[in-house]
Amino acid sequence: MMPLKNARGRFCGVMGLTAVLATTVAVNAQQTSQTLREAFADDFLIGAALSTRLPGGHDKVSTSMIAAQFNQVTPENCMKFGQIHPQPDRYNFTPADQLVAFAEKNKMTVVGHVLVWHNQTPDWVFENAQGKNLTRDELIARMRKHMEAVLGRYKGRIKGWDVVNEAFNGNGTMRRTKWFEIIGADLLEVAFRNAHAVDPNIELYYNDYGMTGGGKRNATVKLIEEFKAKGIRIDGVGMQGHWGLGGPSIDAIEQSIITFAKTGVKVHITELDVDVLPGRKPNRGGDLTKEQYQKEVDPYRNGLPDDMQQRLAKRYAALFGLFLKHKDKIARVTFWGASDKYSWKNNYPIRGRVNHALLFDREAKPKPAFHAVMRLKSK
Ligand code: XIL
């Protein structure tokens, strides 16, 4: 065994060794008792998306972990059109009210998600009473009324909103959604102008996935530049971080962070999770039994093995190393879910699997990935 040296380079005796070990244990204990929100307080907000029932307090273990670890929350579903405004004259504000109250109680920033999106938006939004498509003006009026009700309700209590979500295709063209079909090419402009008119003090964001690809990156930069030229407010770009262990590369993420920041907006890393499960594989012509296939696509039902925990930890450390390097450009990093128990990745893209995509496990306990992220701050 190598003789041990203490911090000043002197060789330690048995008593010295005990003292060194005691100090190490104390330092480790101190590190793990620190929380994400404390560790990154001077860098960027650290957030989590909350599933609809969480702020109601049915899972006390999870809510106390969330209150301790995060200083920002995003509603995972409860402010989406279909949930908060399910019928033309019916709003369901209860879960959203609970989320905002939970955030205030725990001194957390709230980001609204989302005003204009093609998913989780009922068909009635685009139709008249006869089931026919609305005209452009009618749909714009409906959008405005929705914004007045939802954005207006939380004025002064929500810092910013994802105004539009996922409006571009991978190649940078506009996605053919009902919103686009009826309103037309200036959909984003209309949405941002209206949101700003309803609340001139609120921050406005454009949010999308696949933002490391050239098509969406260029389309987003063009959008911001057009907005700036026309004097339309936009404060941030949300890069959804639904990423994997192997990709996108740190270089590609960095390129997008730098490119977006150059336009003068802040970058928000939204919806961060790291999928550890195999992609959607076809059952090769049915040559596997149902059980074999299940095992292949859902291999970690009984827990994530050590080597995989280490891979996840390394990936998260690389991501957070990059975020810290660009902390001057990044306003927040928001996980899509607080713990593996609540991760949508258990049901997407295949339903009913056991994924391990976040920093906290199903008991809301920190995983090796959490410690790897925290170590970046103790260096
Ligand atoms: C997901 C939620 O996590 C799920 O609970 C829901 O069933 C579907 O939507 N991009 C987004 C998020 O902007 O709103 C999506 O959230 C995930 C993909």
Give the separation between CA 327 and CA 329, rounded to whole angstroms. Answer: 5
Task: Provide the pairing of β-strand 160-165 with 72-75.
Answer: unpaired
34-90 pLDDT, tens per residue?
999 999 999 999 999 999 999 999 999 999 999 999 999 999 999 999 999 999 999
Contact call for residues 335 and 273 (beta carbons, < 8 A): yes
Record the tokens describing residue 40, joined without a space: 């990154």
All domains of the chain, ordered by start, with CATH? 36-276+288-375 (3.20.20.80)
Ligand 1 centroid distance, CA of 45 (Å): 21
Residue 193 CA, ligand 1 centroid: distance in Å: 25
Residues with CB under 6 A from ligand 1: 76-77, 165, 240, 271, 344
Q: What is the pTM of this model?
A: 0.91
Ligand 1 atom with least separation from CA of 162:
13
Query: Is the preceding peptide bond at 248 cis, omega within 30 degrees of 0?
Result: yes
Residue 316 reports pLDDT greater than 50? yes
217 with 259: CB under 8 angstroms? Answer: yes
Mean pLDDT lowest for which of 15-24, 102-111, 282-291? 15-24
- Whether the pLDDT of residue 15 is over 70: the answer is no
